Structure 1
Amino acid sequence: MAIDNRAAEIADMLKLQATSMRAGDKLPSVRELSKTYGASPVTITQAITTLSALGIVRAEPGRGTFVAKLKEQTEPDYAWQSSALGRSRVEPGRVSRPGSHGLEDVQLSWGYLAPELQPFDELRTLGVRAAKSHRAWTMAPPMGLPELRRAFATDFSADVQDMLIMPGGQQSLVFAMRTLADPGSTLITESPSYPGATIAAQAAGLGLAAVPSDAEGILPDKLADALERTHAKLIYLQPCYANPTGAILSPGRRVEVLALAKSHGAFIIEDDWARNLSLDGAAPPPLFTQDPDGHVVSIATLSKPAAPGLRVGAIAARGPAGERLRSARIADDMCVPPLAQEIALGLLTSSAWPRHVKRLRSGLLERRDAMVAQIRESMPGARVVNIPTGGIHLWVRLPEGIDSTALTAAAQSAGVLIGDGKHYYVDEPAAPHIRLSFSAASIAQIQAGVRRIATLI
């Protein structure tokens, strides 16, 4: 039964009255309550029905309404769940973000675009248009719309049949790791690296082995040692504008890494999240384009270069691995929502996309340069490890003796959200770092935020 606002008000007042009475005491009749509260008998009956459902009163036909005996409230016992669930795969500390933030906070940790950098007008127009199409409300093919698969295939020089549409990059990571490796096996990751990949590996039940990287990407000799030691069949890499360092895997190392994957029979998961976020010059071609034998499985996403709410991405994979990924896809959620696919397709195939990428490049370049300049001016003891030619992050080396975790907490208390460098390592970091993101804040906010961090150091 629906209850109107007046009945709800009376129910609250009767509840308060019942709490001052003893169990078994009789409430006034409906007629008396109608006079007391100036309400109709129907409204009073609605209020009593609500309280009866809550167990506060009980109605006895022909006798009246009485205060019910309240059941003793006991604390729920969830102890059994700890035994049933077993050990948690994902470390809680790795999934925590610098929590909810107010409008006055400076966001230097968010790995997405500020609203003014998103193609909002274009997405709104495309969304309205797509919503009018019947295709947006019917079941899409599990592999994705053929036209959208073709649009993503272009960057990878891939066959359309090698493409699989996914609900964003993070889901793609979890899905690929879970499908290509058995629980208990090992994933090799460059270090430092994207914490979301670590979480994805843990969610898939994989162990982790870290291999150091530098300005040219992962160190091939160390990768060879790790492959020999762990017998891993899965390697996670960001060859293009790695998060958090901004490093690009150098041409020579690309050849060495591919040769190692071939000799050890391993897959490389190429996280190509930043391809459309180049700032100085063009992005290198995907590693996928240099691999004819199916060792590289690549992941693309629109959530980073377009809008965080546009959860559309793609996986490129050849051979039996591609077949397995495409076959396993239907077990998750049947298909990516067609409405989101239609909007993504409209964006990628319209003249709005190159205009947006050009506008985005200019806006991010200004923000990067402003952040670098402010760090050099306000934080002389800190050092930007690498000025990235793409992406949205700066990897900042702190002076020795600074605790990055304590600094991150102090910055959050001061209204500036930054990334604790420890979260980007699987093992203990060799030096203190923080990650500062320049994509989610204005230039004025970036400058004010960096100055505020400097006072804490």
Structure 2
Amino acid sequence: MSTSSADRIVAELRLVLDDAAPGSRLPSTRDLSARYGVGPVTVQKAVRTLVGLGLVESRPGSGNFVLGARPPKPLEFGWQTSALRSAGGRVPTLSASLRERSVDAIGLHAGFPTRELLPERLVRSALARAARGDAAITHAPAAGSPELRAWFATELASFTPTGIVPVSARDVVVVPGTQSGLGSIFRAIAGPGRSVVMESPTYWGAILSARQAGVDIVPVASDAEGPVPDDLARALAESGARVVYGQPTFANPTGAVWSPARRERVLSTVREFGAFLVEDDWARDFGIEDAPVPIAAYDDSGHVVYVRSLSKSVSPAIRVGAVIARGPVRERLLADRSAESLYVSGVLQSAALDVVLQPAWRTHLRALRGRLRERRDLLVSSIERLVPEAVVERVPAGGLNLWVRLPQHVDSEVLAAACEREGVLVAAGTEWFPTDPSGPYLRLGYAGPDPARYADAAEVIGACVREQLV
């Protein structure tokens, strides 16, 4: 039997079939054998190929017949509507922060710093060393490597004033990125059907994690100094919530920093209600000005659950962070982490520790301040000059974002779509509000690529804003 002969027959018959009427009969095997000068086995092989392609129907005892063009059966997902009914409410779509950027687009949407703001040489060397070590072929402890846990603990303990017992390595649970850690916190401390208090607006990932955990979000008002204490107390009293989520330092998306007095009031209120404060210190390494002391440094009774990330500052490819908690809550968090992922990759832990222990790490962070300042100021000036209809509500002292207030009658989601059509990616502010937005906003990142194109991006944003105002 000749495969090449069968393929030739298939190719020629496909040309014939294109013009043949549906239901018409193909020549018999004997006729095809004579036409192509091959044996019947070769013809039968070709016919089987045509049957497999859906072009021919073989009817035993009757012959082979041409099939009409049949559109593919549409995929049917209706069954999933019923199967997913227990998810509890609408699940948000992929955040604008995670959208991929085309080569030519100007990206102001991303929540991660571009590669030139990362310690790339340190990261590559650390990963190479980690791959040669035991971490490449062994599993890590459930709570994380002792050395990395000690580093996280030492970092927080360095801020602790005299008279307060500092945290130790045994209080640390290493997590595969703090987004994963937030999921554990909301599941293990709050739990389905319970409430979590959050500022509004706040980090979209915290909103998503809380909703996925089946937790009800109770928003509280904020002013220039942080959460309004009376509103926080009211929310805790009315909801029965025992978890408060906040970003006291360089908040995403607003860039806000809680004042020292407000930090003390919030901690006092949390203690009064027997609650936990989840302090998300994601931007600790992105201070343009000096970052305030973490609230967790003043916690002497286990009320603060401290969240610290390295993924953004070391490398987005090294998903490593930590949750620091004291008392029984730490064991509950560790149990949840073990149930979800067993342990964090030892290679990534080893590489992260290698980077932060290098003297060049501190040198990198010092240089990063100036580079972030330049980018921030360039984007602020571009928006103020080319989008006069918008207001930069706060020039942040750290972090990665600007929070821009739009004119009242502008739809931020429509604006984001219009900008994308013009090659500029921005993030509509709606996804940072756990309830109804207080107004139209954009979140613009100044740590992305191509800062020389910020003015071009601002021109596009301004033109799209004015289109809506006509």
Question: Which category of TM-score, normalised to the shorter sequence, fits these structures?
Answer: 0.7 to 0.9
Residue identity opposite 1:250 in structure 2: S
Whether 1:259 aligns to 2:258 is no
Cα distance change on mapping 1:254 and 1:283 into 2, 3 Å: same
Partner of 1:155: 155
State how 1:328-367 maps to structure 2 within 5 Å.
328-367=336-375
Whether 1:416 aligns to 2:433 is no
Partner of 1:184: 193
Cα distance change on mapping 1:208 and 1:27 into 2, 3 Å: farther
Distance apart, 1:145 and its partner CA: 1.2
Whether 1:114 aligns to 2:111 is no
- Classify the secondary structure of the residue corresponding to 1:435: strand
1:360-397 residue CA offsets vs partner (Å, 9 max, x unmatched): 22211110111111222222232211111110111112
Whether the aligned pair in 2 keeps the contact of 1:311 and 1:340 (CA below 8 Å) is: yes
Partner of 1:95: 94
Instruction: Indicate the percent of aligned positions where both proteins have the same amino acid.
Output: 36
Distance apart, 1:292 and its partner CA: 1.6
Residue identity opposite 1:328 in structure 2: D
Cα distance change on mapping 1:17 and 1:384 into 2, 3 Å: same
Normalised by the size of structure 2, how large is the TM-score?
0.84
Cα distance in 1 for partners of 2:23, 2:232 equals: 73
Partner of 2:312: 304
Distance apart, 1:51 and its partner CA: 6.6
Cα distance in 2 for partners of 1:268, 1:252 equals: 16
State which of 209, 212, 233 in structure 1 corresponds to 2:242: 233
Partner of 2:282: 273
Partner of 1:130: 130
Cα distance in 2 for partners of 1:156, 1:111 equals: 24
State how 1:186-201 maps to structure 2 within 5 Å.
186-201=195-210
Distance apart, 1:166 and its partner CA: 0.8
Distance apart, 1:21 and its partner CA: 8.6
Distance apart, 1:430 and its partner CA: 2.7
Cα distance change on mapping 1:136 and 1:376 into 2, 3 Å: same
Whether the aligned pair in 1 keeps the contact of 2:250 and 2:257 (CA below 8 Å) is: yes
Distance apart, 1:333 and its partner CA: 1.7
State which of 213, 219, 223 in structure 2 corresponds to 1:214: 223
Residue identity opposite 2:435 in structure 1: D
Number of residue equivalences: 449
Whether the aligned pair in 2 keeps the contact of 1:23 and 1:66 (CA below 8 Å) is: no
Partner of 2:83: 84
Residue identity opposite 1:199 in structure 2: L
Partner of 2:163: none
Cα distance in 2 for partners of 1:217, 1:186 equals: 20
**Structure 2 runs not aligned, ≥5 long:** 158-166, 466-470
- Of residues 249-258 and 127-136 in structure 1, the stretch that sits farther from structure 2 once superposed is 127-136
1:269-297 residue CA offsets vs partner (Å, 9 max, x unmatched): 111100000002x2112221111211111
Whether the aligned pair in 2 keeps the contact of 1:210 and 1:426 (CA below 8 Å) is: yes
1:330-351 residue CA offsets vs partner (Å, 9 max, x unmatched): 2112211222112111111112
Cα distance in 2 for partners of 1:232, 1:141 equals: 33
Distance apart, 1:327 and its partner CA: 2.2
Residue identity opposite 1:327 in structure 2: A
Residue identity opposite 1:332 in structure 2: E
Cα distance in 2 for partners of 1:187, 1:5 equals: 68
- Classify the secondary structure of the residue corresponding to 1:101: coil
Partner of 1:383: 391
1:13-54 residue CA offsets vs partner (Å, 9 max, x unmatched): 77676676978967998xx99x9799xx99x99988877766
Cα distance in 2 for partners of 1:117, 1:12 equals: 56
**Structure 1 runs not aligned, ≥5 long:** none
Cα distance in 1 for partners of 2:5, 2:404 equals: 59
Whether the aligned pair in 2 keeps the contact of 1:183 and 1:206 (CA below 8 Å) is: yes
